[in-house]
Amino acid sequence: MKEQIKKFLNEEQDPKAIEKITSKLNDLLMKNEEIGYIAVQKKPALTVFPDGVVVTNKRIIICQPKNLGLSMNFTDFTWDEIEGTFVKENILGSEFSFSTKTQIQVSIDYIPKTQARKIFTYAKEQLDILKNPVVSEEVKVQVPEFQQEKVEEVEEFVEEMEAEEVINYAEIMPAVSNYAEPIVENTTASTEKISSELTQDELFAKLQNYKKLLDNGLILQGEYDAFKKEILSMM
């Protein structure tokens, strides 16, 4: 018995009918389409060529053998065409049926009860997926390619700059006259506003200066992070 049909023989399906259906379906399946379940008729009288119902992740396929099994008719309905599915259990098996949005009624009788329940459950799951699709990941803001490259370049520069060790503290202090009040880039950093008219080079210099101030304990980490974010937003 072929490995590919073993998984469809869990509820006493006719092996020959399953093999015939799957062999003909191989050329009918669409890209990324997978068979979920196959149910096969089991009439009280001997039925050499029973009808079958195939449910995939894309559609329902009704399989009806013709010409003594030499040919087979396939009728399919995609899930978005189907309005609802139904199962009616009788004494001799069950009747699986479904209706379409165009008022077409399709039914297959004498389906073994276990198979009918399985195919009904699978169909309900597919319809639920169609009605309640999985929410896709949050859409990311598209950044123009040239701008993204610039941001990456700045971030790389900042990472390299943060790895540098400040050797000479005097290098970070602005020159002041003897009588002027010392200025250290306004250590009350949380209130400073950076002009948006500064050039790229000036912004780079400001960011480097703030990093040195942070390394020497003249501003807090939170203040530095705020300046860094503001400067990067201007580039």
pLDDT digits (tens, 9 = 90+) for 160-203: 665 554 444 445 444 444 444 444 444 444 434 455 567 777 88
Residue 149 has pLDDT above 80, yes or no: no
Residues whose CB is less than 8 angstroms from the CB of residue 112 and which lie 6 or more positions away in sequence, other chains included? 11, 12, 39, 42, 93, 94
Classify the C-alpha dihedral 73-17-119-128 as positive or negative. Answer: negative
Answer for the pair 35, 56: CB distance below 8 angstroms, yes or no. Answer: yes
Looking at residue 66, its pLDDT comes to 85
DSSP 173: S
Looking at residue 62, its pLDDT comes to 92
pLDDT in tens, 45-95: 766 678 889 999 999 999 988 887 778 899 999 999 999 999 999 888 899
Question: Could you tell me which residues are beta bridge partners of residue 74?
Answer: 63
Query: How far apart (Å, rounded) are the C-alpha atoms in residues 133 and 149?
Result: 35
Going edge to edge, which strands form the sheet with 105-111? 82-89, 94-100, 105-111
CA 133 and chain centroid, separation: 10
Residue 97 has pLDDT above 90, yes or no: yes
pLDDT in tens, 3-51: 555 666 766 777 888 888 888 888 888 889 988 889 888 887 766 678 8
Mean pLDDT lowest for which of 15-24, 54-63, 137-146, 210-219?
A: 137-146
Looking at residue 188, its pLDDT comes to 43
Answer for the pair 89, 113: CB distance below 8 angstroms, yes or no. Answer: yes
Tokens of 29: 């399946």
Looking at residue 150, its pLDDT comes to 60
pLDDT in tens, 111-122: 989 888 999 999
